[in-house]
Amino acid sequence: MKKDRMYKDTKTWNPFVGCKYQCTYCMPSFQKVVAWIGRLHDCKKCQTYEPHEHSERLDRIPNERCIFICADGDITFAKKSLMMKVFGAMRNDEKKGRIWFVQSKNPKCLEQYLEFLPKNTYLLTTLETNRDEGYDKISKAPKPSKRYKYFLALKWDKKMVTIEPLLDFDLETFLQWILSIKPKAVFIGYNSRPKAVELQEPEKKKTWQLIHRLEEKGIQVLKKEMWDRRVTKKAYREL
């Protein structure tokens, strides 16, 4: 259990840990943190990020209003039997007003669980870009176009989109993707380890055009690490 740095005032709950998508930007940052926690708890599978269960955590839901479910992995690699226990614990939770976040880079895997989710659950997926070309060099996850279609097709009214790390994109296409999903919020941020892994990022102006046009449509955009050397407040004012 730990505070999530991107999703403010949220704690993670990790009965499942690990992922096989091997995202290049995840290895030098997020996975290093999970490996460090694994060393503290003497869990070799956490240290290698191999998908695995921690069923002893099922009855250790953090005492926080917002809970990110299995944030230390991707539940597409979790056994359904475990996830049914996770969602059962969520439904039986007695803390009123709780909000749950469930995220996957393969939104299609979420379809089988929709009927078991509490109504106050928000579904999330990551869309770093709308461009498929060259994406296989960055991640083994479903390509952005497939991920978008899977997420769009989910019959669930509470959705959010994570655009982190932001990769170069086609403004009009990417904008329409996000608008068609009708997210309650969009999280956006740059690569947090630019010295460890180099990614093709958009020009500053294009980034702020996307943010500005989403906000014009009434979508809340939550920015992470945007006020740095790559994107300045002045650039935003100049749009």
Phi, psi at 147, each rounded to 5°? -60, -45
Query: Given this model, what pLDDT does residue 59 score?
Result: 94
Under the banding of pLDDT at 50, 70 and 90, the label for residue 236 is very low
pLDDT at 36: 60
Determine the Cα–Cα distance for residues 231 and 225; give it in Å rounded to an integer: 9
Q: How far apart are CA 224 and CA 82, in angstroms?
A: 32
For 2-31, how does the pLDDT look when each residue is reduced to its tens digit (9 = 90+)? 444 444 578 999 999 999 999 998 875 555
pLDDT tens digit sequence for 63-110: 999 999 999 999 999 999 999 999 999 999 988 889 999 999 999 999
E strands, the chain, are 10-13, 16-17, 52-53, 66-69, 99-103, 121-126, 159-163, 185-189, 220-224
Across 224-232, average pLDDT: 50
Calculate the alpha carbon distances from 208 to 6, 63, 218 in Å: 19, 36, 15
The answer to whether the beta carbons of residues 7 and 185 sit under 8 Å apart is no
What are the tens digits of pLDDT across the range 174-226? 999 999 999 999 999 998 878 888 899 999 999 999 999 999 999 999 988 65
CATH number of 10-237: 3.20.20.70
pLDDT higher than 50, residue 1: no
Q: Do residues 129 and 99 make contact, with C-beta atoms less than 8 angstroms apart?
A: no
Give residue limits of the domains in the chain: 10-237
Q: Residue 97 in contact with residue 115, Cβ under 8 Å?
A: no
What is the rounded distance in angstroms from the CA atom of residue 1 to the CA atom of residue 233? 34
pLDDT bucket at 237, cuts 50 / 70 / 90? very low
Residue 76 · residue 109 · CB < 8 Å: yes
Sign of CA dihedral 101, 76, 138, 215: negative
Q: Is the pTM of this model over 0.85?
A: yes
pLDDT at 127 over 90: yes
